[in-house]
């Protein structure tokens, strides 16, 4: 279809991203003359162009971009603006290694994990609904996984010594359980059992009376296990291995393990939406971002972003995205599961 020399954007895939993420812009009229390259802007900020062709471009979301509009400009004309969901940085100088946690009041909890055995000045931060970043807990070493119970208490796994700590809403921490090996990902089921991933190969189940059971035994992970419950009550687990073609595992309520999907690179934090779609911070076909996997195991990158390690999907069509050093807020058309209350 001719565009009379005017570039036209038909679709951007994925249609959401954070700075550093790669997206493909599909349309026409992007190269009006041989050996020319268009200009791609996110808001008023120029993007790095990785590939340029007549009907598609690959661009990297630039640092400092604001606003949710993308334009393509050639030597002849500029395209009509096209909507894009752009994540906004709300905190930096952090060190999360999996999902942040969000309470019913909209406070966000995130770790500064540090290296194994490293004692950092602040181990947990609390980010208020207006994005004020406040130190929350100082004495934990290598905090890793986070999960909130229905009373608003935050549970924290510490991979350095295999402990789980319980933190009150006002920031008072106490040892809740120990002996969890290299404790990493944690998640509550609907009746208050806490599940803990020991990356050496065990998923523990701890009931509200603090009795400990071995729920499942998996292949060890070189980094961490990440856990999330589906709306139907099955436990989903990721755990990077030395393979670049890793699995998402599904464990039913009897502890029986099956492979839900295979084909992700370094899968980490994961979360479900209301429709039962699974979202994983991972690489798919060499591109990093958030991968959505439908209930029938069809994958697609839906958020572009390098360094993503986890996410929280909120009921109000918003996502909190964690990279290795920062948090981003993304207004999005995906509705998360209800928060614990």
- Does residue 102 share a domain with residue 32? no
158-171 tens-digit pLDDT: 999 999 999 999 99
What distance in Å separates the CA atoms of residue 116 and residue 162, rounded to the nearest whole number? 12
Domain boundary among 37, 68, 86: 86
- Does residue 180 share a domain with residue 72? no
* Residue 92 DSSP code: -
How many domains does the structure of the chain reveal?
A: 2
CB 70 within 8 A of CB 82: yes
- Does residue 127 share a domain with residue 54? no
- What is the number of alpha carbons within 13 Å of residue 54 lying toward its C-beta? 7
Place of tokens 């905190």: 91
The token pair at 224 is 């961490």
Domain boundary among 52, 86, 120: 86
Structural domain includes residue 336: no
39-52 tens-digit pLDDT: 999 999 999 999 99
The token pair at 191 is 């009746």
- Does residue 154 share a domain with residue 76? no
The candidate with the shortest Cα–Cα distance to 124, out of 134, 132, 136, is 136
Domain boundary among 63, 86, 109: 86
- Does residue 282 share a domain with residue 196? yes
For residue 261, count other CB atoms closer than 10 A to its CB. Answer: 22
Round the CA-based radius of gyration of the chain to a whole number and report it.
Answer: 21
273-286 tens-digit pLDDT: 999 999 999 999 99
Q: How confident is the model at residue 3 (pLDDT cuts 50, 70, 90)?
A: low
Mark residue 254 as left, alpha or beta (left: phi above 0; alpha: psi -120 to 50; beta: remaining): alpha
Here the CATH number for the domain that contains residue 65 is 2.60.40.10
Q: Global pTM?
A: 0.95
Q: How confident is the model at residue 1 (pLDDT cuts 50, 70, 90)?
A: very low
For residue 256, count other CB atoms closer than 10 A to its CB. Answer: 10
| Domain coverage including residue 274 | 88-331
Taking 80 as the threshold, does the pLDDT of residue 121 lie above it? yes
What distance in Å separates the CA atoms of residue 227 and residue 291, rounded to the nearest whole number? 16
- Does residue 148 share a domain with residue 15? no
- Does residue 148 share a domain with residue 187? yes
């Amino acid at each position: 279809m001719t565009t009379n020399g005017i570039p036209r954007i038909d679709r951007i895939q994925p249609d959401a991203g954070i700075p550093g993420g790669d997206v493909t812009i599909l349309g026409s009229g992007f190269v009006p003359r041989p050996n020319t390259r268009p200009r791609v802007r996110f808001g008023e900020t120029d993007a790095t162009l990785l590939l340029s062709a007549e009907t598609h471009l690959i661009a990297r979301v630039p640092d400092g971009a604001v606003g949710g509009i993308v334009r393509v400009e050639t030597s002849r004309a500029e395209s009509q603006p096209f909507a894009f969901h752009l994540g906004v940085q709300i905190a930096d100088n952090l060190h999360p290694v999996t999902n942040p946690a969000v309470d019913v009041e909209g406070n966000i909890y995130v770790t500064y994990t540090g290296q194994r055995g490293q004692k950092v000045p602040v181990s947990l931060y609390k980010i208020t609904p207006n994005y004020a970043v406040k130190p929350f807990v100082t004495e934990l070493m290598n905090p890793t996984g986070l999960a909130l119970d229905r009373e608003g208490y935050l549970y924290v796994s510490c991979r350095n010594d295999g402990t789980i700590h319980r933190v009150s809403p006002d920031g008072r921490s106490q040892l809740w359980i120990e002996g969890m090996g290299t404790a990493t990902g944690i998640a509550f089921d609907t009746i208050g059992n806490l599940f803990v991933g020991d990356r050496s190969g065990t998923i523990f189940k701890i009931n509200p009376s603090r009795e400990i059971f071995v729920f499942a035994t998996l292949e060890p992970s070189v980094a961490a296990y990440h856990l999330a419950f589906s709306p139907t009550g099955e436990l989903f687990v990721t755990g990077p291995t030395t393979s670049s073609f890793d699995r998402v595992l599904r464990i039913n309520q009897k502890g029986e393990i099956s492979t839900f999907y295979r084909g992700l690179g370094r899968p980490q934090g994961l979360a479900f939406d209301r429709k039962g779609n699974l979202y994983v911070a991972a690489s798919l076909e060499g591109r990093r971002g958030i991968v959505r996997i439908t209930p029938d195991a069809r994958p697609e990158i839906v958020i572009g972003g390098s360094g993503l390690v986890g996410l929280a999907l909120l009921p109000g069509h918003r996502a909190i995205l964690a990279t290795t050093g920062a948090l981003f807020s993304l207004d999005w058309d995906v509705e998360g599961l209800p928060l614990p209350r």
